Amino acid sequence: MSEFDYDKLLDRARKNIPQEISGDARWKLPEPEVLIEGQQTIIRNFSDITDMMDRDANHVYHFLQNELGTSGSREEHRVLLKGRIPPKRIKEKLGNYVRTYILCDQCNAPDTRFLKEDRTTLLKCQACGATRPVKM
Ligand SMILES: [Zn+2]
């Protein structure tokens, strides 16, 4: 899938959240606030996004760097990446992260946790109990 619709994905995720945890209709990732300054790209609200993801900010940060093929630095609240990266690509990569490391592939709930089992990491869904292996 080359084009990736972040909003559509999040819509789908929201719709599929079972009622009991969907006091969580709040689960919507903030739009990345992307600022291109000279030869660097800044995601100003990076920590808001990772807070909402409930994932380790470093993990998301390294994923983004790999996916975008760039390096950068992370500050408390924001991330600075080398190069001029269109906001659309950043959204697309964040969407990939959500699909790979957050959404349950059975019920699409975002309420999942990593579970270590021997050398494998599983993603366990708190809503339906399904697990699937994830590559860390
Ligand atoms: Zn599930």
What's the 53 CA to ligand 1 centre distance in angstroms?
16
Mean pLDDT of 121-128: 95
What's the 136 CA to ligand 1 centre distance in angstroms?
20
CA distance linking residue 6 with residue 61, whole number of Å: 18
Question: Coil, helix or strand for 42?
Answer: strand
Structure tokens at 127: 């809503």
For residue 53, which of 111, 128, 131 has the smallest C-alpha distance? 111
Domains of the chain: which residue ranges? 6-105
What's the 99 CA to ligand 1 centre distance in angstroms?
13
Q: Using a pLDDT cut of 70, give the percent of the chain over it.
A: 83
What's the 105 CA to ligand 1 centre distance in angstroms?
7
At the top level of CATH, which class does the domain 6-105 belong to? Answer: alpha beta
CA distance linking residue 29 with residue 51, whole number of Å: 9
pLDDT in tens, 60-100: 999 999 999 999 999 989 999 999 999 999 999 999 999 99
CA distance linking residue 2 with residue 93, whole number of Å: 11
Can you give the pTM of this predicted structure?
Answer: 0.80
What's the 106 CA to ligand 1 centre distance in angstroms?
5
Confidence (pLDDT) at 136: 83
Q: What is the DSSP code string of 92-118?
A: HHHHHHHHHHTS-TTT--S-EEEEEET
What's the 17 CA to ligand 1 centre distance in angstroms?
9
What's the 59 CA to ligand 1 centre distance in angstroms?
22
